[in-house]
Structure 1
Amino acid sequence: MEYFLAVSFIALFAFIAVDRPIVYIRFKDGEVTKTKGKVPHGFLHDCAEICKRTPFTGTVKVYRNRFKPAKLVLSKGIDSKVQQRIRNVFPHKSFK
């Protein structure tokens, strides 16, 4: 019984603690270095264009939300003006 409780506690902790975005894009010095998930082609193209014009290093993550279509999370290493440009091109309707 104790083993079952210990294993279930560890499984619950791992389920809560693991970061699981539905889309992950990593940028480094003006280039897209890594993508995970089903990224809309237009969004990836627009992000790459923004990154070429103003090179930056950081990550863009999209999380599924129960009440809203999707939640966009940008790393703090990205300038606030660039963050706003990425938010402007984010396709909210693609993640419903």
Structure 2
Amino acid sequence: MEYFLAVSFIALFAYLLVDRPIILIKFKDGQLVSKKGKIPHGFLHDCEEINKRTPFSGTIKVYRNRFNPAKLVLSKDIDHKVQQRIRNVFPHKSFK
């Protein structure tokens, strides 16, 4: 019985600590390195266009939670002006 409780607690903590974004886009030195998830075509196109004009390195993650349709998380490597441009083109209505 104790083993079952210990294993279930470990599984619960592992489940809570694993980073699980629904969308992951990585840029490095002005190039799209990888993309994961079902990305709206317009959002990906706009991110690539922003990256052409002002090249940056970093990651863009989108999380889904119970209260908000989608939460956009940008890495700190991305300049604040570029972050704002990405937030402006983010399609919040696509994730409802």
Structure 1 partner of 2:90: 90
Q: Which amino acid aligns with 2:94?
A: S
Which aligned pairs between 1:70-85 and structure 2 lie closer than 5 A?
70-85=70-85
3-state SS of paired residue (1:13): helix
How many percent identity over aligned positions? Answer: 80
- Cα distance in 2 for partners of 1:51, 1:73 equals 17
Size of the aligned set, in residue pairs, is: 96
Question: In structure 1, what residue type is equivalent to 2:62?
Answer: V
Q: Counterparts in 2 of 1:1-96, with a 5 A limit?
A: 1-96=1-96
Q: Which structure 1 segments of 5+ residues have no match?
A: none
Q: Which stretches of structure 1, 4 residues or more, deviate above 6 A after TM superposition?
A: none
TM-score normalised over the length of structure 2: 0.97
**CA root-mean-square deviation:** 0.6
Q: CA–CA distance in 2 between the matches of 1:72 and 1:88?
A: 11
Gaps of 5+ in 2: none
TM-score scaled by structure 1?
0.97
